[in-house]
A and B are shown apart, each in its own frame.
Chain A
Amino acid sequence: MSTVAPTQLPLRPPAHQVSPRAVRWWQLRAALALLFVVTPQVVVLLVMGGDAPGWLAVTAGVTAAPIAAYGILVPPILYRIHRWEITDDAVYTMSGWLVREWRIAPISRVQTVDTAHGPLQQLLKLASVTVTTASAKGPVTINGLDAKDAAELARTLTVTTQATPGDAT
C-alpha cells in the first residue's frame, strides 16, 4: 500500500472488519428473499401441476437465479469491503458493493448512538450501530458487528459524545 494509483481514492481502509458471522447474515437475508420470491411461484406450479403455463417455470428460474447467485457470490465480497474504525476524533466506515461509500463523521458532532438487533442478527449474535449527527443525511451505520463489540462500541461512543459540550450542529 505504499503507492496509490492516481485514480484510486487516497484513503486507507478503516482498521476493523465486521464480524465474520456477518457473511452468514447476508446469506440468510438473500435466502429469505429467495424464499419470498420463489415460494409463491413454486406453490402455483405444484397446485396447477400439468396445467401450469410454461412460462411460469421460466420466470421462477429467472427470478431465482440472480438472487441465488447474489447470495453465493456477494456476501464474501461485502465482508471484505465493510470496515469500520473509531478514533478519538472520528467515526470512519466503508461499505457498499456496486456503489462504494466512505463516511467520516467527527465524534464532536455525534448526537445519538443507537444499537439495533434484527431477528436474524439476534440469531447470529450480531448488531448494527447507528451514529447520528445533526444532519438529515448524517447517520453512519455499521452493520454486522459482533453483539458484544457493538455494545462496547456504543458505550464508548456515548461516553465520548456526552463529554463534548455544545449542541453538535
Chain B
Amino acid sequence: MSPEVDAEVEAPTAVETPWRRLDVRMLVVGPLGSLGRLLPVIVILLITGQGDVTRLWVALAVALLVVLAGVVRWRTTRYRITAERVELHSGWLKRQRRSVPRDRIRTVDLTAKLLHRAFGLSTVQVSSASKAVADASGQLSLDAVSKAEADLLRRELLDRSPASDAAPTSPAVAAGPSPAQELARLDWSWLRYAPLTFSSLAGIGAIGATAFNLVDDLGVDPRDIGAVDAAAERLGSAPVWLAVLVVVTVVLALAVVGALLLFAERWYDYLLTREPAGWGAGSGTLRVKRGLLTRRSLSVSEDRLRGAEIIEPLLLRAGRGAQCRALSSGLPGDAQGGALQPPAPRAEAHRVASVALREHPSQITEATLRRHPRAALTRRMTRALMPTAVLVAVAFVLGSVLPPVAWLGPWSLLLVPVAVFLGFDRYRNLGHELTARYLVSRQGSAVRQTVALQRTGVIGWTFRQSIFQRRSGLVALEAVTAAGQGGYTVLDVAAQDAVALADAATPHLLTPFLLRA
C-alpha cells in the first residue's frame, strides 16, 4: 500500500475522532472483580498457611499483580467511534485490534453486574452481522464505561441517521432522548410460569453445583455437617420408597424456589420499549431492560429485525405460557438470546410478537397454519416408537438375564404411551403458512417453536430428504437466514408443497429450476 493511500485513510479520522479510554473507575472495579474471583484461593492460602509468613507474601503478591494487570489493561485499552467504524485497541504484550463497521451493527447489549453497578459502570457489547454466531470477530466489548457514556454509545451506535454520523458525540444526541414507547412491562403474576421452564431447572442444577463446589473448595465434607449427616442417617434406615419420595420432594422444592429466584433476578423491572430513531431516520430500536442484581439492556435495531419466535417448552405449554424471542442477526444463540419477555401467558407472547413486528397476530405467529400430510404422522410415530421399541427390548432382555431387575421389562412398557403421545403431539404441532410478508412455521413437542420469518429475510433454501422421506414423498425445507439460528425448518411437508412454498416466498429465485408436470 502506498504512503499516499495510508495518509488518505488515516488523516481525517485521526483529526475528527480522538481515542477514548475506558472509565477511570475501572482501575478499581477491574482489580476488585479479579480479586473477588481469586478470593477463595487467597482465603484457602491464608487459612491453610496458619500464619506462615511466606504464604501471606504470596497472597499479597497475587493481589498486587492483579492491581497492576488492571492498570495495564486500562492504560492499553482505547476505543473510538468514527463515522464508519467502531474501533477497539487493547492488550499490552499481545495487542488486539478490533474494528466493526457501523452499518453492520445489529444489537447493542449493556450489562451492569453488581460490582459495576456499585460504581456506576456498564459493559457495552456490540454485535454485528457476521457469518457465524460463534465468530468473535463480529463482537466488540467495552468493559466498562460509565452508565451515561454507555447509554450515549448505545444511541449513537444504533442510530445511523446522517446527523449522528457526522458528529458522533454531538450534544444533540446526548440531550435529546426521544420519548420511548412502552410495549410491555413485568406482571408479577407471571412468576407462576417460572418453575415451568427448562432453563430455570438447568439453572438450579448450576446453583447446586456451585454451592457444592464452594463447600468442597473450603475443604468441608458435607457429611461433616451435623444436620446433613443426621438426615442422611435417618434416610438410610428408612424404606427405599420413602427415601426416594423425600429426595424427590426436596429436589422439587429446591427447584421451584430456585426457579422463582432466578426468574426474579433475570426479569425484575422488565420493560420492553420502542425508541423512535433520531431525526429523519426511518426505523426505531427495540429495547429490553431487565435484571435485579445484574442489569441488562438489549437493543435491537428495528430494520435488522427479521421476525419473531414463540417458544413453548412442554411444561410451559401445559400451563398455557409462552415466551417471545426476536430474530435478528448478532443475537447470542443461547437460551436467553433475543428474549423479548419473560415466560408469560400465551396471549401476551403473541401480543409482544405482534407489537414488536408491527403486524397483526394473524399475519405472524397466530396465523392459521396448514396441516402437514398424513405421511408426516406415520413418520413422527415411527421415529418416536422405534427407539422406544429398542429400549423396551433391551429392558426385557436385561430383566430375563438379571433376575433382580426383572421388573425392568414390564415397567418399560410405560414408555410406549409416552412415545405415542409425543409422536402424535409432534405431528399435531406441525404446520406452516405463507402470509403477506412472513413465512410462519411451527414444530416440536418438548419445545414447540412457532417461527415467523420475514420473507425478505430468507437468503437461501435447503431441501433435505432422507431415503425414508423420499418413499413417503415428504421433505424438510429449511429457510436459510442471517438471523437467529441461521435456518428455520418446515418439517415433513409434501414434496410438491415444499417447492411451491419456497417459490412463492421468494419469487423468481427457484423459477429456473422448477420442473413442470
Contacts of A9 in B (CB 8 A): 463, 465, 475, 495, 498-499
Contacts of A2 in B (CB 8 A): 517
Asked if A138 lies at the interface with its beta carbon under 8 angstroms from chain B, I say yes
- When C-beta atoms are compared, the residue in chain A nearest to B465 turns out to be A100
Given known A7-B473, A99-B464, contact A138–B486 (CB-CB < 8 A): yes
24 interchain pairs (CB within 8 A)? Answer: A6-B473, A7-B473, A9-B498, A10-B495, A10-B496, A10-B514, A10-B515, A10-B517, A12-B514, A85-B513, A90-B513, A92-B513, A99-B464, A100-B466, A102-B463, A103-B463, A105-B460, A112-B131, A133-B459, A134-B129, A136-B132, A136-B486, A138-B459, A138-B487
Minimum-distance CB pairs A-B, first 9: A7-B473, A136-B486, A134-B482, A137-B487, A137-B486, A105-B460, A109-B459, A169-B482, A102-B463
Q: Pick the residue among B129, B461, B464, B514 that contacts A169 (CB under 8 A).
A: B129
Contacts of A101 in B (CB 8 A): 462-465
Contacts of B131 in A (CB 8 A): 111-112, 132, 134-136, 138
Question: In the docked arrangement, what's the CA distance between A127 and B203, Å?
Answer: 47
Quick check: which of B46-54, B185-193, B244-252, B504-512 contacts chain A, the rest being far away?
B504-512
Q: Pick the residue among B132, B494, B513, B517 that contacts A11 (CB under 8 A).
A: B513
Asked if B113 lies at the interface with its beta carbon under 8 angstroms from chain A, I say no
Contacts of A137 in B (CB 8 A): 462, 478, 480, 485-487
Contacts of B516 in A (CB 8 A): 10
Tally A residues with Cβ within 8 Å of B: 41
Given known A104-B513, A136-B485, contact A109–B460 (CB-CB < 8 A): yes
Asked if A66 lies at the interface with its beta carbon under 8 angstroms from chain B, I say no
- B456 to A: closest C-beta gap in Å: 11
- By CB atoms of chain B within 10 A, which of A102, A111, A112 has the most? A102
Contacts of B509 in A (CB 8 A): 89-90, 104, 106
Question: Can you add 9 more A-B contacts, CB < 8 Å, to A10-B514, A135-B131?
Answer: A7-B470, A7-B471, A9-B498, A10-B495, A101-B463, A101-B465, A103-B460, A134-B131, A136-B132
Asked if B89 lies at the interface with its beta carbon under 8 angstroms from chain A, I say no
Asked if A4 lies at the interface with its beta carbon under 8 angstroms from chain B, I say yes
Asked if A98 lies at the interface with its beta carbon under 8 angstroms from chain B, I say yes
Would you call B482 and A133 a contact (CB within 8 A)? yes
Contacts of A7 in B (CB 8 A): 470-473, 495
Would you call B460 and A133 a contact (CB within 8 A)? yes
Contacts of B473 in A (CB 8 A): 6-8
- B517 to A: closest C-beta gap in Å: 5
Contacts of A11 in B (CB 8 A): 463, 499, 510, 513-515
Asked if B133 lies at the interface with its beta carbon under 8 angstroms from chain A, I say yes
Interface size class of B (residues with CB under 8 A): 35 or more
Asked if B16 lies at the interface with its beta carbon under 8 angstroms from chain A, I say no
- B229 to A: closest C-beta gap in Å: 49
Asked if B103 lies at the interface with its beta carbon under 8 angstroms from chain A, I say yes
Would you call B513 and A12 a contact (CB within 8 A)? yes
Given known A6-B496, A135-B480, A137-B487, contact A99–B462 (CB-CB < 8 A): no
Please report B residues at the A interface, Cβ cutoff 8 Å.
103-104, 129, 131-133, 304, 329, 459-467, 470-473, 475, 478, 480-482, 485-487, 494-496, 498-499, 502, 506, 508-510, 512-517
- When C-beta atoms are compared, the residue in chain A nearest to B487 turns out to be A137
- When C-beta atoms are compared, the residue in chain B nearest to A7 turns out to be B473
Q: Pick the residue among B103, B461, B464, B495 that contacts A8 (CB under 8 A).
A: B495
Would you call B466 and A98 a contact (CB within 8 A)? yes
Contacts of B465 in A (CB 8 A): 9, 99-101
Given known A6-B473, A168-B459, contact A104–B104 (CB-CB < 8 A): no
Question: In the docked arrangement, what's the CA distance between A78 and B512, Å?
Answer: 24
- B260 to A: closest C-beta gap in Å: 35
Contacts of B482 in A (CB 8 A): 133-135, 138, 169
Would you call A104 and B510 a contact (CB within 8 A)? yes
Contacts of B466 in A (CB 8 A): 98-100
Contacts of B486 in A (CB 8 A): 135-138
Which residues of A from 1 to 50 have beta carbons under 8 Å from B? Answer: 1-4, 6-12, 14
- A140 to B: closest C-beta gap in Å: 8
Question: In the docked arrangement, what's the CA distance between A104 and B329, Å?
Answer: 20
- When C-beta atoms are compared, the residue in chain B nearest to A112 turns out to be B131
Question: In the docked arrangement, what's the CA distance between A87 and B510, Å?
Answer: 11
- B460 to A: closest C-beta gap in Å: 4
Would you call B487 and A135 a contact (CB within 8 A)? yes
